[in-house]
Structure 1
């Protein structure tokens, strides 16, 4: 496993584990997490909203039992005010909410600091200065090592690039959804790196692309028809997951954050990563996409 370091010194494994879809059954999740550690994955990504804190608790239980805290990085997210006894979720990026929520997340994770804390979304109408102030306080107090945002809104991303000292931006990014390319120069100019979520585009960028297109993309996606997607993906000789990983790792990406709901799925992601050569990808076959909203 290779690693990439951000400006605050966070050392990301190039392949991370998105924990959102971990099974609620602890024994099942435990096997996936053990496999991740044995594969030298060091970045584990969660959020307070995932299963209303249960996902953080699951990670906390595992690392309490298995140690390794000094060898791994935990990232969580904040901004969604949720309620245990209803499905209501309120957007709340306020200073007070962030400063209170981090305590709850740290308790559930069983740790006294978080490596990365991210705003879980964001709108241009937010009081962004208040949000940034909260993250800076947490960093100064040693409760977090670095912060960032998870967003695909260019106007929000550009504000945080200009006015904060964030380390990372989490974005959906892959060969099909290459919209982040329009922001790469601005991101790199601020020495910020990307956490790439959705690297296989819901399974389209795997060997099962044909059946996935039939099940999930009957109407196509973005400006691709289903037939065009199948035609393009059928032209690629290299394994599709390897090709999209090669593409992402040729960009200012700190980690490819792939999810896994089973040990076999994680092993498939790791096997694809082990074939990466950092050069071979098929970007030229795909459309040049750009964000069209929130500009």
Structure 2
């Protein structure tokens, strides 16, 4: 599988496993992770809040069985603090970031992290303090690289200009093509994109009609329900392999680091890998892009 190299030298498999949907059944999770490794996937994405930390424990425990491999990359996230009463609060402070990494490392069974990402962020955050926390963790050898998970252009641009982030995670697919407006800026800084939501809640699968009915009944973004249904139908007429189509669209960007797919079963993951392996004619991808609307972020611009 294609590997994309970060500034730190970390090599990400171009298809990564989003671990949030693994669940808490460790046997089932192990089957999915083993399927990922057998398929050439070596990037695993988790977060401290997934299943209140249980996800990190499960991912760490399973991947510890493969310590002899030097190609596995693990990324986790920080910023959402779970209070003892169960409330979730946003906390991008240096104190929280530097304390929380100890807990993530313990749950993952690691001495250092490959990738540590801020799990959100607003322009009102103590931005320089947050950045300095990640920089200090790098100097201390606790993280190899750090990044940002965000869809806020003003926050993304601040980090591009004032930090040494290596990755930007954003929802990105043929319908939600808003990240395109930032791709040149991201690529110029040598930052790689982690594209989450590539199949967009099933919209880019063979079950797209079910997804339209159950998850997009009110439309999305600038699409009403009818327009969205018509657009996806046109895409399907152009290229029936909708997953391969949206994957090929994402692979056309030089800034791509990894396409993050979730999987609740080994079979679902195998299907995603098979779609990733298919080559869609760039001319078809170009036609598909012409079918969908040109979307831009309209909030959090300044």
Give TM class, smaller chain. over 0.9
Aligned length: 294
Q: Deviating runs (4+, > 3 A) in structure 1?
A: 66-69
Structure 2 length-normalised TM? 0.95
Q: Which runs of 5+ in 2 are unaligned?
A: none
Give the secondary-structure state (helix, strand or coil) at the position aligned to 1:21: helix
Partners of 1:64 and 1:183 in 2: how far apart? 37
Check whether the contact 2:116–2:143 (CA below 8 A) recurs between aligned residues.
yes
Check whether the contact 1:56–1:105 (CA below 8 A) recurs between aligned residues.
yes
The correspondence for 2:250, drawn from 219, 244, 248, is 248
Matching of residues 8-27 of structure 1 within 5 Å? 8-27=8-27
Structure 1 length-normalised TM? 0.97
Partners of 1:122 and 1:100 in 2: how far apart? 18
Aligned pair in 2 of structure 1 residues 48, 278: CA closer, same or farther (>3 Å)? farther
Aligned pair in 2 of structure 1 residues 14, 68: CA closer, same or farther (>3 Å)? farther
The one-character-per-residue Cα deviations of 1:9-50 (angstroms, maximum 9, x if unpaired) are 111101000000102110010100000000010100000011
Partners of 2:184 and 2:30 in 1: how far apart? 39
Residue 68 of structure 1 and its aligned partner are, at CA, apart by: 4.8
Match in the other structure for 2:75: 75
- Tell whether 2:266 aligns with 1:263: yes
- Tell whether 2:95 aligns with 1:93: no
Check whether the contact 2:11–2:71 (CA below 8 A) recurs between aligned residues.
no
Match in the other structure for 1:210: 209
Match in the other structure for 2:148: 149
User: Alignment RMSD, CA only?
Assistant: 1.2
Matching of residues 114-193 of structure 1 within 5 Å? 114-193=113-192
Partners of 1:38 and 1:67 in 2: how far apart? 15
Q: Which runs of 5+ in 1 are unaligned?
A: none
The correspondence for 1:290, drawn from 290, 296, 299, is 296
